[in-house]
Structure 1
Amino acid sequence: MIDEEGLPAHGLPAERVLDGIRALRSGDRPTHGGRLFAYVYDPAVPGLDELTAAAHAESAHVNGLDPTAFPSLLAMENALVGAAAQLLGGGPGTTAPDVVGSVTSGGTESLILAVKAARDAHPEITEPRIVMPVTAHAAFVKAGHYLRVAVDMVPVSAETLRPDPAAMAAAIRPETVLVVASAPGYAHGVIDPVTEIAAVAADAGVRCHVDACFGGWALPWLRRLGEPVPAFDFAVPGVTSISVDLHKYAYTPKGVSILLHRDPELRKTQYFAHADWPGYTMINSVIASTRSGGPIAAAYATLRHLGEDGYLRLAAVTRDAMNELADVIRAAGGLRLVAEPESTVICFTVTDPELDLFVLVDELAARGWHTQPQLAYAGLPRTVHLTLTASVAPVVGKFGPDLADAVAATRAAGPVKLPAELLALARSLTPEGLTPDLVAGLAAGLGLGLGEAADAGAEPVPARMAVVNTLLEEVPAALQERLLVEFVGLLQRPTWSRD
């Protein structure tokens, strides 16, 4: 039995505590081994986990609140920023010699700060706006929500999955403070026409942010390998800021991203400072004040250990695995790639109406392959997203037979058919009318173990999610959002200590 109690009456021996954590971890998706195509980035480099754990421990108690108190952390952050800037077309001898940046906790924080810096650079604009393709990361919408910045979305071509630069230009208003491009977009792995988008932004006198959180540490190495990577970084005139996550293809442990600005003037409005109170003067370059130095030290150790030659090798291994996996999908009956791979993502859909994509995802999971389903959106089909890393290479040969088997099982099972009463109930709901009890009852009808209405022994998240995904696809986005908010709210409940 797993002990989930948080604060026992009497302290426990260290090994028992660790055993409890290991028991809890046993139900997680596998973070190593190349069978999880989302969320984690595993280079399959022997000894790297041990190195980063040791580096993290060295600086875990260092506080990033005050860089003058802990110069070791400042030195490591500056080194990480310099490495990212040089990789992305900035630094001495380039057209962007004065690039500066900050280390953040992840891509979402980097994007929020890019929006904040653009907004605060124009205090005269009382109702600021940003322009972005619909394929740009949802974190930009989160930034707009947090910062009260309106978001104008531009559609993409159903064939190319890219926005028309002319449509991006037409969406720019006098209130626009930022234009966004992705390199690549997360969902499909497609690189936006950055050169053209940056040009229309520059013509309008607006900042242009390139979200390279996903590809910023992969595309430069692929280019060095001879792949036809289009221009997307500071070599492009008009690009004013770039985000790149080190905890993706720099293969560092979670919690490290970089936000770069073309020059120090552009970064000034990213900072927050406050002196009008009796405590210490607060000055923050990022959202958090107190920050553990552990993730930064672990990232620094990773870059130092792998080096340029290591990253080039990992990029080559990942590219070859991606090409092999793409060929497997092309050869499978009833499937097609929605875009030719041009970064480190494979995205595919079904062409056979007898194949239910959500059922296929479940069948792959039953065979140990954990993929990411994406709902249909605005004329774009439902798809499966695969993030590839170097760890996929040793197991990619096993994917083909399992995919063929999963396709056969999916065809035999047939498409999901929702019960008429459940579908009618879902379609009758409104975001305003949802309550925790109502969502718990709906979850119980789907076989989820939530709230008092759930069946005894039901799991909060079942092994098969096709019915849930199908139901979500049948309701409007606003209702999807509210349903998921209530669902996660029911999952995130305190564990009380036992008597």
Structure 2
Amino acid sequence: MIEALPSTGVPAGQVLAELQELRTADLPTHGGRLFAYVYDPDVDGLDELARAAYAISAHVNGLDPTAFPSLLAMENALVTSAARLLGAGPGTTAPDVVGSVTSGGTESLILAVKAARDAHPEITEPRLVVPSTAHAAFAKAAHYLRVALDVVPVGPDLRADSVAMAAAIRPETVLVAASAPSYAHGVVDPITAIAAAAAERGVRFHVDACFGGWVLPYLRRLGAELPEFDFGVPGVTSISVDLHKYAYAPKGVSVLLHRDAGLRMPQFFAYADWPGYTMVNPVISSTRSGGPIAAAVATLRHLGDDGYLRLAGKTRDAVGVLADAVEATDGVRLFAPPETTVVCLTTTDGVDLFVLADELAARGWHTQPQLAYAELPATIHLTVTAAVGATAAEFAKDLAAAVSATRDRGPIDLPPALLEAAGALTPAMVTPELIEGLAAGLGLGDNIAGSMASVNSLLNIAPAPLREALLAGFLSLLQRPTW
């Protein structure tokens, strides 16, 4: 336990040592063995550069660009680079693109929905149409902004069904969205067809390229046969792309682009009806540190276009090695085509997927299990980065060993009493006391980094609303004062 406010100040060296000690419990952010949450290019000196750049602007406040023009210049530079990469700028069919720098993909998507909603004040019950594979941040945006969410099932190829998406558009629809690529499976939706349907009905269309938007253009330059998805597609009105993903900038920097300034205007919030300064914000936050933005600029300038092309090549090759390993291993199979930077696999022949995830973790490979959804089975998601190029062959060997160990262990057998209790639960019944009891029954204790197979198995059989309540309860259990 660490005390943030001791009675007497602590020497700087001791503080840093304590923070380093806390970090030893975290998953490894470098080394090509963590397939979620972080993006590692394996470039010597890049971390040091980003930290130094961050420090230069850490105390600069993005609230007022007239007070800190350095941050305005950096934000405009990031927007320009993202727009150029995504098919906009002079000499293109989207010469008037504008954009804003946000704290991450979720904020970018919330703002895209806000701009679309506020552009139509006459629509009192606005609606948002997304495929079922759209990122959960759209649901968060719909919840926060009181926009009805119309979720359209995807086709058997895991891509948005353009015909069904078009049919879901109503007079109250203010925005249609699709993914390039989807996070769960790494496949690109049919952007051209959906954009045309939205444009025909006069509705905005957003491309969520937060996950892979920075790498897809480079993969295409390397020969990947990927569909069009950027501002070169008529009908695309906005695109989001995260720089803290495949641009390899530190957390958290994303860019939201609009085809023109008129489309962006409803994104802004301005308020003058109080005695203080007139508040005007392009994004959700008012005060914003310049640190992440400066670090992103430093990262982009240091790597350069040629550097990103090389990193995309390393990532593509690593995806190939991992996909081949899955196809060569009995008991697992590819669940989606590995066409971008994701390897998504599921298990066969009675191999317990959640036990397999634990067995891989025991061998130092930290994956992301994805629970069953509708007709889709549970899967394991691997976000592949350039750093995986150095470890992919080792993973291939360990996968076969992990599958073998999973067979030996057998599937998770949850206690009948726990299954009976879970079957009778409703979200309204989930209380802090119940969560504490469940945690004890599953043997979690204070070890949140241990075996998760039992927890995932329980969540996998629960309906989505109950999953949400249970996970919110577990998170609440973790986030509490250390008296």
TM-score (norm 2): 0.99
Q: Which runs of 5+ in 2 are unaligned?
A: none
- Corresponding letter in the other structure for 2:7: A
Secondary structure, aligned partner of 1:259 = strand
Aligned mate of 2:301, from 300, 304, 324: 304
**Letter matched to residue 472 of structure 2:** V
State the partner residue of 1:154.
152
Work out whether residues 131 and 161 of structure 2, in 8 Å CA contact, stay in contact via their aligned partners in 1: no
Q: How many residues align?
A: 483
What's the counterpart of residue 8 of structure 2? 10
Distance in 2, Cα, partners of 1:201 & 1:342? 26
Match of 1:407 among 403, 407, 410: 403
Residue 90 of structure 1 is matched in structure 2 by: 88
Task: Provide the secondary structure at the position in 2 that maps to 1:145.
Answer: helix
CA distance in 2, matches of 1:8, 1:201: 57
Letter in 1 for 2:98: V
Aligned mates of 1:490, 1:325 — CA distance in 2:
36
Opposite residue 281 of structure 1, the aligned amino acid is: T
Deviation at residue 163 of structure 1 after TM alignment: 2.1
1:351 aligns with 2:338: no
**Partner deviation per Cα, 1:176-220 (whole Å, 9 max, x = no partner):** 000011000000001000000101101111000000001110000
Q: Do structure 1's residue 466 and structure 2's residue 463 form an aligned pair?
A: no
**Which residue of 1 is the match for residue 36 of structure 2?**
38
Which residue of the partner structure matches residue 371 of structure 1?
367
Provide the aligned C-alpha RMSD in A.
0.7
**Partner SS for 1:320:** helix
- CA-to-partner distance for each residue in 1:400-431, whole Å, 9 max, x for gaps? 11111100000111111111100001111111
Deviation at 1:240, TM superposition (A): 0.2
The CA deviation string for residues 283-313 of structure 1, in whole angstroms up to 9 with x for no partner, is 0000000000000000000001000010000
Q: Which moved more, 1:296-305 or 1:221-230?
A: 221-230
1:251 alignment partner AA: Y
Whether 1:252 aligns to 2:275 is no
TM-score, scaled relative to structure 1: 0.96
Q: Which residue of 1 aligns with 2:440?
A: 444
Distance, in Å, in 2 between the alignment partners of 1:374 and 1:25 is: 26
Question: Helix, strand or coil for the counterpart of 1:127?
Answer: coil
Write the deviation string for residues 425-474 of structure 1: whole angstroms up to 9, x where unpaired. Answer: 1111111122101110011100122xxxxxxxx42x14111110010111
CA distance in 2, matches of 1:191, 1:462: 33
8 Å contact kept, 1:447–1:462: no
- Contact 2:79-2:101 at 8 Å conserved across structures: yes
**Counterpart in 2 of 1:224?**
221
Give the conservation status (yes or no) of the 8 Å contact 2:442–2:455. Answer: yes
Shift of 1:335: 1.1
Output the CA distance in 1 between the equivalents of 2:179 and 2:106: 14
Match among 188, 203, 206 for residue 203 of structure 2: 206
Distance in 2 (CA, whole Å) between partners of 1:59 and 1:274 is 27
- The correspondence of residues 109-124 of structure 1 with structure 2, limited to 5 A, is 109-124=107-122
Q: Please list the CA deviations of residues 360-382 of structure 1 after superposition, one character each: whole Å capped at 9, or x if unmatched.
A: 00000000000000011110111
Contact 1:448 1:462 in 2 (8 A): no
What SS is found at the alignment partner of 1:402?
A: helix
SS in 2 for 1:174: coil
Moved over 2 A (4+): none
Q: Which residue of 2 aligns with 1:455?
A: none
SS in structure 2 at match of 1:135: coil
Q: 2:132 aligns with which of 131, 134, 147?
A: 134
The 3-state SS of whatever aligns with 1:336 is strand
- Rounded to whole Å, the distance in 1 between the matches of 2:137 and 2:295 is 25
In 2, distance between residues paired with 1:47 and 1:386? 26
Task: Name the CA distance, whole Å, in 2 between partners of 1:446 and 1:384.
Answer: 22
Gaps of 5+ in 1: 450-457
Identity of aligned residues (%): 72
Q: What corresponds to 1:486 in structure 2?
A: 473
Matched residue, 2:335: 338
